Structure 1
Amino acid sequence: MDKSSIESVNVFWFRRDLRLTDNAGLYHALKSSKPVIPIFIFDKNILDKLEEKADRRVEFIYAALGEMQAVLAARGSSLEVYYGTPLDIFKQLATKYKIDTVFANHDYEWYALEREIAISKLLKEQGISFQTYKDQVILEKAEVVKDDGTPYTVFTPYSRKWKSILNEDHLRPYPTKKYFNNFYPQPAQSILSLSSMGFTPPGKTFPSKSLKEELIKKYAEQRNFPAIAGTSKLGVHLRFGTISIRELAAHSRQLSETYLNELIWRDFYHMILWHFPKVGRGKAFKPQYDTINWRKDTGEFECWCKGQTGYPIVDAGMRELNETGFMHNRVRMIVASFLSKHLLLDWRLGEAYFAEKLLDFDLAANNGGWQWAAGSGCDAAPYFRIFNPRLQTEKFDKELKYIRRWVPELESFDYPKPIVDHDFARKRCLEVYGLALKQK
């Protein structure tokens, strides 16, 4: 095709930023001098690895794309949705359009970075530039470092520095709506169906993305009690970018420092992933923890996965996860500690299971949380801190409301006996961890 007489365009590549408002990369694309074609690629390299073909996260993405398409169609434009490998899709796009620049937002995961290297190389060969912007976190990479330029590995001093650096510019929304007329004019295209990609929509509802101000105000006092609706459940929206982290941080800064700290933890773990990419590839942050002699017991792992350990708070959490794709934050710590310390099974097994099941799965946060629980991560709980499920229950679910919701057979003969004794498990964990950590 002779493209010399064709109007040149820019492309915005949606990835984990599925919204048209307050989107950094989209803003810069729309402010450019070329009409913008928005695209999304259902990446075969990712989707083909999903064993569950009724994956709710794929359905969530599909719903978000539909919302954006409705807005674009009303303005005489269209989102272009593709299914394939990004390299192949960009080869097609470079043939179909005369592209000047491809815009996107930063991603920090190892696969996304490798993908970008390949895409950048392809585009450069075609004379197309590739520009990316910070969008999914407030402060990234080396924006928050120690005075000597090295990265923080402990959260508290990191958070203090984060707060001292933060200014209004970091939270100012990008006014994308002002430039919506710069979308490439074309009839709305139909979005390919999930079934055409081999997926079946489970058809369940998702948490609302509306900000509940009263909940945020009470977050500090309610967040640890799983029977209370005291957490925002906005994780899936932050993961896929259907809400703006800037908007959420700006609101929470006025409403709850405790909630703001949770958002800072997100930045912290993404910073850790950036500076220490090995943690995203299965390595312990603290290398000596890779020498722990983990047990191998597929039967006990299956009991943990199914919520059949005989420890009610653990079983309730796992059943909630399996049924809803969500698990209360306090309970996540309890079940992670139980797997890695009571059962002495490799934390990577749990990390992978959460990656498969969690609606809000995010590599940086998931890895950070698991390594914290196992003791192997930065700023982790010390290895000798072992959650006692019974004491955690007395403290955070004393009336058993949460447990009875998910373990209705609790007081019947059908409920299993504990698969391991707490005191025995604690002693075993301390011995095995201690032996590994004495090695130099």
Structure 2
Amino acid sequence: MTLWWARRDLRLADNPALLEAQADGPAAAVFAWTPALHFWSGRRRAHLARVLWSLDQDTDGALGVRRGPAPDVVLAAARETDSRIVHAAREFSPAGVREQEEVRAALEADGRELHLIGSPYAVAPGRVTKSDGTPYKVFTPFSHAWRDHGWHSPAPTADASSMRALTSDMSLDQQAAHGDAEDPLSETHEFRESQILEDLRAFIEGDLARYAAERDRPDLDSTSHLSVPLAFGQLHPRTILAATGAVRSDAARVFESEVAWREFHADVLHHHPSAQRESLTPVLPDDAWVTGRDANDAFRAWRLGETGFPLVDAGMRQLAATGTMHNRVRMVVASFLVKDLHVPWQRGADHFRRALLDYDHAQNQLNWQWVAGTGRDASPFFRIFNPETQAEKFDPDRRYRRRWIPELDTPGYPMPMVDHKAEREVSLAALKQRKSV
């Protein structure tokens, strides 16, 4: 008997670790509901509970979901099922690496083994390097090398009937209910694997054709809506790339480049773990950032969507209500926090970690660094989004802003909290000061 330790690969399709566990017969499956999950937002815990419930249903109740640190949970399950080998997908985030090494040590001390196979990426971080073996710092050459490297075809779907039942010690229904009550959303996102795969098919056959032309328009519905299942491991990027690879169009290649950005950021964090909190390239002097009450007041207005800049406010309200935000708007709200309100990117990244349902650690931290001008191949700091011209260009009929700001064009909507032109000059002056040092 072998054991599958379910991690960020909560699916039956294209799951090499689960297939390896089933290679010699029925396998058991366990998911560790660790103490770290209680630092997640209620919305993320509620959705995770639904995802786990769905996977348990797909395996006829075979998935064991158990509370406790991963080393304790996995070792206990291995002993219970008499599994000498535990199979799991390899993680590359600092926390994921630390966790899997702790599990490995616990298993090896008990005469058992941890076999890591597969990852949440089409090409695992660290695989794509320059000819001298060093990592890429610029996205475009990375993306070319990433394509040249290539990836495996999707693995077959695992046999759901070839699972040995493992009991759970917690109620997923209760976790979902508690998360909903603590941190409610205005809508429930899809959590069934079969429907997610159908949604992928529908996107490839439909909205993909408009993706290149319309992907920056938050007022239109032309994006894939696949970021949440990607974040929870219900869909592997290799599955997406197999679907887009069958389409000969510029739109398909543009969509694939977004997958490449996700993999680039994972690669950067793999080589520079400190990037989860530290700027890779500091751009401003330390005294350029607001502090104290001024910082807290500015951050609160931004968080609540009460800045007086409609595109910023619409984005932050969409995030609060749904747990997601259109990517173009994410860039605008991030630029506004860092370059108009002069709040460090880490504080914005922390809020996104709590509020986003599609939170992905590497993608979130490095996207914030991209906007702040501090990351690898980042947008230059002097590129400061004007929230008003961005709104005119990408929400020309104001549909997106009206949807999320019902009091728009009424006395109840606040005046702009800052003068964008003036704050832009403040940021540029700070940048010049840093360069002169």
TM-score normalised to structure 1 length: 0.90
Counterpart secondary structure, 2:265: helix
8 Å Cα contact 1:83-1:197 kept in structure 2: no
Which structure 2 segments of 5+ residues have no match? none
Answer yes or no: is the 8 Å Cα contact 1:284–1:290 preserved in 2. Answer: no
| Whole-angstrom distance in 1 between the partners of 2:125 and 2:166 | 40
**Aligned residue among 260, 263, 266 for 1:267:** 263
Shift of 1:192: 2.0
**2:70 counterpart (86, 111, 123):** 86
1:405 aligns with 2:392: no
Report the Cα distance in structure 2 between the residues aligned to 1:249 and 1:306, rounded to whole angstroms.
Answer: 37
The 1-side partners of 2:354 and 2:281 are apart by 25
SS at the partner of 1:418?
coil
- What residue number does 1:236 align with? 228
The alpha-carbon deviation at position 197 of structure 1 amounts to 9.1
1:123-272 alignment runs, 5 A limit: 123-166=107-150, 170-177=151-158, 179-180=159-160, 182-184=162-164, 186=165, 192-195=171-174, 199-201=178-180, 202=184, 204-207=187-190, 209=196, 210-211=199-200, 212-213=203-204, 214-255=206-247, 256-272=252-268
SS at match of 2:4: strand
* Contact 1:104-1:132 within 8 A present in 2 as well: yes
Residue 87 of structure 2 contacts residue 115 of structure 2 at CA under 8 Å; is this kept in 1? yes
Between stretches 336-345 and 206-215, larger displacement belongs to 206-215
1:327-357 per-residue CA deviation (whole Å, 9 max, x = no partner) reads 0000000000000001111111100000000
| In structure 1, distance between residues paired with 2:402 and 2:124 | 41
Give, in angstroms, the shift of residue 362 of structure 1: 0.4
Alignment of 1:247-396 (within 5 A): 247-255=239-247, 256-280=252-276, 282-287=277-282, 291=286, 293-296=288-291, 297-396=295-394
Q: Secondary structure at the match of 2:402?
A: helix
SS of aligned partner of 2:230: helix
**RMSD of aligned alpha carbons:** 2.0
Cα shift at 1:293: 2.9
Number of the residue aligned with 2:37: 47
1:67 alignment counterpart: 54
- Tell me, in whole angstroms, the C-alpha distance in 2 between the residues paired with 1:236 and 1:116: 23
Give distance in 2, aligned partners of 1:60 and 1:23: 20
Is the 1:171–1:249 Cα contact (8 Å) retained in structure 2? no
SS in 1 for 2:22: helix
Distance, in Å, in 2 between the alignment partners of 1:191 and 1:20 is: 22
1:112: how far off? 1.3
Identify if the C-alpha distance between structure 1 residues 290 and 27 changes in structure 2 by more than 3 Å, giving closer, same or farther.
Answer: farther
Aligned equivalents of 1:233, 1:190: Cα separation in 2: 33
Take 2:6 and 2:166, find their aligned partners in 1: how far apart are those partners?
A: 19
CA distance in 2, matches of 1:189, 1:27: 22
Which residue of the partner structure matches residue 36 of structure 1? Answer: 27
The Cα offsets for residues 87-110 of structure 1, whole Å up to 9 and x where unpaired, read as 222343344232211111111111
Deviation, 1:134, is 2.2
Q: Give the drift of 1:131.
A: 1.1
Counterpart amino acid of 2:49? Y
Aligned partners of 2:285, 2:124: CA distance in 1, in Å?
28
Q: Distance in 1 between matches of 2:111 and 2:273?
A: 30
The count of aligned residue pairs is 417
Q: Deviation of residue 141 (structure 1)?
A: 2.1
Specify the alignment match of 1:104 in structure 2. 88
Distance 1:357 1:290, change over 3 A: farther
Partner of 2:47: helix, strand, or coil?
A: helix
Alpha-carbon contact 1:313-1:331 (below 8 Å) kept: yes
Residue-by-residue CA offset, 1:54-74 (whole Å, 9 max, x unaligned): x2222222222222222222x
Unmatched 5+ stretches in structure 1: 1-8
Instruction: Encode CA deviations 1:183-202: one digit per residue, 9 max, x unaligned.
Output: 22x48768623536993334
CA distance 1:363–1:196, change in 2 (3 Å): closer
Task: Measure the CA separation in 2 of the matches of 1:147 and 1:113.
Answer: 26
How far apart, in 2, do the equivalents of 1:56 and 1:132 lie? 29
Tell me, yes or no, if the aligned pair for 1:78 and 1:189 is still in contact at 8 Å: no
In 2: Cα distance, 1:424 partner to 1:152 partner: 36
| Shift in alpha-carbon separation, 1:260–1:94, aligned structure 2, 3 A | closer
Residue pair 1:315, 1:407 contacting (<8 A) in 2 also: yes
